[in-house]
Amino acid sequence: MQLRFLLVTGPNSAPATIDFVAGLNVIYGGSNTGKSHILRLIDYCLGARKPPESITEQAEYDLVHLGIVLDDGTKKTLVRALKGGDVKLLDGLSRERPAPKQGISISAKHGAKESLSKFLLAQLNASGKRIQTSASGGTRDLSYRDIERFAIVNETKIQEATSPVLTGQYVTKTAEVSVFKYLLTGVDDSALDLAKPDPGQPLRQAAQLELIDRQLQKLEQDISESDQDYEQLEQLDVTLDGELAKSFSIQEAAERDYRTLTGQRRELRREYESVQDRLDEIDTLQARFILLAQHYDSDRERLASVIEAGTLFALEDGQVCPICGAEAEHHRPDFTCDGNVEQIVEAARAEAAELRGRAHELALTMQGLFEERAELRHRAGEILPELDALQGDILREVPSVQSVRSQTNNVVQQKLAVQKELDLIRRRNELVSQRAELGVIPGYDSSTMVAAQTLDGAILDEFSQVIESELQSWDFPNARRVFFDLPKMDISVAGKARASNGKGVMALLHGAFSIALMRFCRDRDRAHPGFLVLDSVFVTYRDPDDLEDIAIQNTPLKDKAFRAFSDLPDDYQLIVLDNVDVPDWLASQSRCTHFTGQPSVGRAGFFPSVTNQQ
């Protein structure tokens, strides 16, 4: 697949466009002219999750179009809204804004039933491929985004010490190595879905190592936040033990009077609550006894009435019985009347006497309650001032108690923090010991072991020779032997690791790696997209990082490299974005575009109106 044009359109704006041809394409010029933005727009149109950052020049535009030619010669145009969403797939190289029903819409997400990723993978004969994600044999679908990382290299990535194969994320390292292995060999990891690795095989060791390394990575992140080593932490732990003992002793002395006062206050409060409860109880009893006394008075008046009436009846001649109302000649006391007046009066007198006794006892009880209540009220009045006085004494003790408690708490927190850090280091050391017991080669991790099982030395050496040939065509200094370092998943040149150089040399070597990978894969019909975008591969000529970068500035390497780029066959496509000037023989060619950064001179930048910001 090759790119033919990038176009950004808006409903009322002149389009911003750049054309591409087979072989070499160069876009160069100063900063803030839109070169890096071109890379981000290409990446976005090919399925990147997030749109490029919004810039001033792009405010009036809403669609990005990318014209592509597939390996079978079929021409397609991808159109995507700058606000995100699906991708519109059009037949032919169309620079017109599509009508709503024109073309077909496919998802930018690989997992969708109809997706851009699956469409592009089909063009690379990579549909349904699986890649290994863990040393234990887990797999997932290959995505076009997995492969595109090797076809679009931005300015940040090309200058990093991180391997060109890896993103630097530990959790995705095995998958990234598996994708690289697939590109080199053409063999994916579908077999792992048929039969998981035999526990007796070396991959069992890799799975154990992966588990240990994941725990180690998390512990190392936590430990790196501390600026003290293990011995310093142990010494600090001992020191804090002494400080803690001293702090507890001071706190004990400071809190002795405080605890005494609070204990006294607690007892007084209990006594006051007991007094209040008893007062409430007495008030209830007194209310009930007053009602009982009133009842006694009512009974006493009734009995007095009975006695008085009986006495009066006894003084008169009886014509009519006062009990039953019968006249004398008809009165039959033994049959019709149950009592006589004398007996009733005597009974009333007896009951009245008993009632007076009860009333006297009730009066004594009520008097006792009255006196008790008075004593309790007096005691309650004494307790309240005592409580106020104790509260004042306690409040005066509080600041000193809080101060010593705060000091003790600070020491305790320091102690806990130190113990936590010591525990992290002890756990890290235990894991390191477990790792050593596995007998792993120094520098190897689980992903390296997986790669070692699937990437033989012959393939890596063959790939290294392609990189070496590329560097030699540039007259790169000392490009006598390129070696692929499997543990680092990176190259070394003449015995020096790529990551040991300044950013300028690292960018050059990353560029050579990427071009060689495109050559290696396309020559062997592997699943490389067939185009390569490199941003700032010649940063050493613009912003040298060390003496070696400066030394390269004084060589013809840049001109030699551009000459090698221009000799690329048309079945390759290389797009170079850079700030450096290009050789005169190349500057005049149509494949070379200069962004001047000046609206009045040549082409200012990617967008047609004003200087673009990257």
- Residues facing residue 80 across a β-bridge: 64, 87
Predicted confidence at residue 444, as pLDDT, reads: 66
What's phi and psi for 8, nearest 5 deg? Answer: -120, 125
Predicted confidence at residue 196, as pLDDT, reads: 62
Nearest to 222 by CA among 461, 438, 420: 420
Q: Which secondary-structure segment (H or E) carries 402?
A: helix 341-437
What's phi and psi for 459, nearest 5 deg? Answer: -60, -45
Give the residues of the chain that fall short of pLDDT 50: 336, 610-614
The rounded distance, in Å, linking the Cα atoms of 131 and 114 is 21
Domains in the chain, ordered, with CATH?
1-124+572-614 (3.40.50), 230-437 (1.10.287)
The rounded distance, in Å, linking the Cα atoms of 111 and 117 is 9
Take residue 278 and report the two structure tokens written for it: 């008893």
The rounded distance, in Å, linking the Cα atoms of 323 and 344 is 10
Q: Residue 495, CB half-sphere, CA atoms under 13 Å: how many?
A: 0
- Cβ burial of 222 (10 Å; 0-12, 13-18, 19+) is middle
SS3 354: helix
Predicted confidence at residue 30, as pLDDT, reads: 87
CA angle 181/184/189 to nearest 5° reads 40
SS3 396: helix
CB 459 within 8 A of CB 184: yes
CB 581 within 8 A of CB 28: yes
Predicted confidence at residue 613, as pLDDT, reads: 39
